[in-house]
Amino acid sequence: MPNASVLEQKQKQVAELTEKLSKAIVGVVVDYKGITVADDTKLRKELRENGVDYFVVKNTILGRAIAGTDLEEMSFALEGTTAIALANEDYTAAARILSKFAETHQNFKVKTGFLDGKVVDTATIDALAKLPTKEVLLATVCSAFQAPIAAFARAVQAIVDKENEA
């Protein structure tokens, strides 16, 4: 039986993780074994720069945090070494960065994840990773909206130029 202070500390960890999970729009659970400290440091830096919270978590703590929630389906992945990446704003950053890292590091594997509170499989995470960044999507939408307006402006200018010639 653990002493009271250890039990209280673990309950606090579970409560904090539960809150982080509830605020996150996307999460990716990975098996991080076999990566070097240097690789881990670079990975953490890239994730942090993209607004992703990444940390190692004990399987029992994560298991208790997801118990009784829609994320409880992720329990199958709570074996071996576990780290989780959570994002509160960008849907694609965590999946994109971790999937790219997994491609170049043989032992690093994406286990599962969630999107808007629903557990998703690794195929969905891979598909999410292939989506362009938010900035690229916004630029594409802006250019799509701008094209008809620019064409209309050229047509109006042509009419004005033609009337000025006459």
What are the tens digits of pLDDT across the range 140-159? Answer: 777 777 767 766 677 777 77
CA 75 to chain centroid, in Å, comes to 19
- Which CATH number goes with the domain that contains 73? 3.30.70.1730
* Same domain, residue pair 113 and 39: yes
- Do residues 115 and 150 both lie within one domain? no
Percent of the chain at pLDDT above 70?
A: 89
Contact (Cβ atoms closer than 8 angstroms) between residue 122 and residue 112: yes
Sheet containing 26-31: give its strands across.
52-56, 83-87, 26-31, 109-115, 118-120
How does DSSP classify residue 69? Answer: S
Note down the domain range covering 136. Answer: 132-166
Give the per-residue pLDDT at 2: 65
Higher confidence at residue 128 or residue 164? 128
- 81 with 152, same domain: the answer is no
Contacts of 73 (CB under 8 A, 6+ apart): 119
Both 31 and 110 in a single domain?
yes
| Same structural domain, 140 and 61 | no
